[in-house]
A and B are shown apart, each in its own frame.
Chain A
Amino acid sequence: MFTPHTDSEREAMLRTIGAGSIEDLFTDIPAGYRFPKLNLPPVLSEMEALAEAEDLAGANESARDLICFLGAGAYNHYVPAAVDALIRRGEFATSYTPYQPEVSQGTLQAIFEFQSLVAALTGMEVSNASHYDGATSAAEAAVMAYHHFREKRTRFVLSQAVHPQFRQVVRTYMQGYAGLEFTGDEPTVDPLATPDSLTKLIDSNTALVMVQYPDFLGRIFDLTALASAVHAAGSLLCVAINPTALALLKTPGEYGADIVVGEGQPLGIPLSFGGPYLGLFATRKELVRKISGRIVGESVDGQGRRGYVLTLTAREQHIRREKATSNICTNQGLMALAACIYLSLLGKKGLRQVADLCYQNAHYAAAQIAAIPGFKVYSDAPFFHEFVVRCPQPVEEINTHLLDHEILGGYDLGQAYPSLKDHMLVAVTEMNSRQDIDYLVEALKEVAHD
């Protein structure tokens, strides 16, 4: 057992602060809660503990065991075996993003390539080395916009069709600043409203306008008019993206986005019950100094050979200390590496094929579901691989029925949008074969007949 202090050292410390015993340090906690008797089972041997843990793990149902139509921000894609094999290599093993270029060229090069791939995919000039997840990136976009306008603009317009969890995290991040106003996603707003409906909320006090593309409901909208309205007010436009969809769509960069954020999980990272995931963050060169986290750059060493270094870490505390505008000092190294390898393996053509399969499968599924009496598919706007279905019964009941058929049903939109009670968000990827989709449709038909 590791014993950091001897008894005499403890006594000396207690004497110094005037406490009689260790127990005295806990008097603020009511006595009844201080040293509760825990009702624990008898101690197990390692062998028994492993067997019990395996039993518990076996009770989980994962996307591998089920046919998965659940998305809503995290998507079930095929991960080539090479991704896992390569990220496990000892050369990449690190507990922390390495600062020292002399021992970390491989990792730094991988981060540099990751940044280059994200910049190309989003149509932006610069990408940082990544954040923890998409929601963190969205929050950092809000922080960046706030400081970009020197804390003078206090209005943040968030589309109601941005991932509900992203919006929650943005608010949590910003709660320490006084006098900020978040608008655009009040419960009274129609969840099916288009991005152009945000235009009327944008004024000269607006720091940031955030939309999602494709949006949380899977829909794709032209952002041209919104971008000009945002820029006419001198505000910044942040677009939250799905990286797979960008293989098919016009990039946010082409629309004039100032910041692009997104959840990078679809790029070769397994669902893993919710994490670790990957935050994508890209922006225009002009704003590079305001980026949180870090950026790896390409340089030359003393002998003129190509090399990679941490070029920009200026926002971080070790330079800016109490003046830092973000508390992010690191990146999501292993997951960024996975995304980098995934994108390199697939290439431009391969990613486009994945996106195309998602699109085709989703549109086949939508057409089949739309034909079931009692179900209505929303198809007013173009969609990528996710779409809204109005169901004849509560989504929870339908999903229970689907689970009996080994199908993981879609997201219950009523959870986040009260007006979309009985509406399901169905996600379809390249992992769902035509047989899977036909099987889903048969199971849904049973529901309609019940």
Chain B
Amino acid sequence: MQVLANLKYSSTDEWVKMDGNVATIGITDYAQSQLSDIVYVEIKVSEGEKIEKNSPLATLESVKAAADVNAPIGGKVVAANDGLGQTPEMVNSDPFGAAWMVKLEISNPAELDSLMDAAAYEKYCEGRGH
């Protein structure tokens, strides 16, 4: 299982990468391996939209389950990776890179404090087993 050191993590397996006040969001390597082969991605937000923490950003379907991707923090959507709908398998092969889902201009930096760092997330995943 891969966990990148410079990211923040939610307990529902989203990752957040900060660049200035813009947060890029996707799902973790642990999440993609649990879901198995992703066959469908639908990004449910569009550029310009304001979203709250915990509101749905995307829906994923794998061959065995469907899952929502929720916003680990609130903000305004500055980019949505709609192209991912055409290449859902990228979520499996490159979850931290090409399979980013949404970029948000965050509204409340304090919300970041509730997220885990890499070490805490790694421990959290180990605790859940496989």
Q: Which residues of A contact B (CB under 8 A)?
A: 150, 289, 314, 319-321, 323
Contact = CB atoms under 8 A, between A and B. Distances in A.
Given A150-B44, A314-B40, A323-B59, 14 more contacts: A289-B40, A289-B42, A314-B39, A314-B61, A314-B66, A319-B61, A319-B64, A319-B65, A319-B66, A320-B61, A320-B66, A321-B66, A323-B66, A323-B68
A277 B64 CA distance: 32
B1 to A, nearest CB: 24
A191 to B, nearest CB: 39
Contacts of A320: 61, 66
Contacts of A150: 44
Nearest to B43: A150
Contacts of A319: 61, 64-66
Interface of B: 39-40, 42, 44, 59, 61, 64-66, 68
Decide if the interface of chain A is mainly helix, strand, loop or mixed: helix
B81 to A, nearest CB: 16
A321 B61 CA distance: 11
Nearest to A320: B66
A431 to B, nearest CB: 46
B127 to A, nearest CB: 25
8 contacts: A150-B44, A314-B61, A314-B66, A319-B65, A319-B66, A320-B61, A321-B66, A323-B68
A150 B59 CA distance: 11
Nearest to B61: A314
A150 B40 CA distance: 16
Contacts of B42: 289
B113 to A, nearest CB: 30
A323 B65 CA distance: 10
A323 B44 CA distance: 14
B49 to A, nearest CB: 10
Contacts of B64: 319
Contacts of B44: 150
A150 B44 CA distance: 7
B67 to A, nearest CB: 8
Nearest to B41: A289
Contacts of A323: 59, 66, 68
B36 to A, nearest CB: 12
A412 to B, nearest CB: 46
A323 B42 CA distance: 13
A314 B66 CA distance: 9
A319 B65 CA distance: 5
Nearest to A321: B66
Contacts of A321: 66
A335 B68 CA distance: 36
Nearest to B39: A314
A314 B39 CA distance: 9
Nearest to A325: B59
A314 B59 CA distance: 12
B108 to A, nearest CB: 24
Nearest to A319: B66
A191 B66 CA distance: 44
A294 to B, nearest CB: 14
A323 B60 CA distance: 11
A362 to B, nearest CB: 46
A175 B44 CA distance: 23
A122 to B, nearest CB: 25
A176 B15 CA distance: 34
A425 B128 CA distance: 66
A150 B43 CA distance: 10
A19 to B, nearest CB: 39
Nearest to A290: B42
B103 to A, nearest CB: 19
A190 to B, nearest CB: 39
A289 B60 CA distance: 12
A319 B61 CA distance: 8
A327 B100 CA distance: 31
A220 B64 CA distance: 45
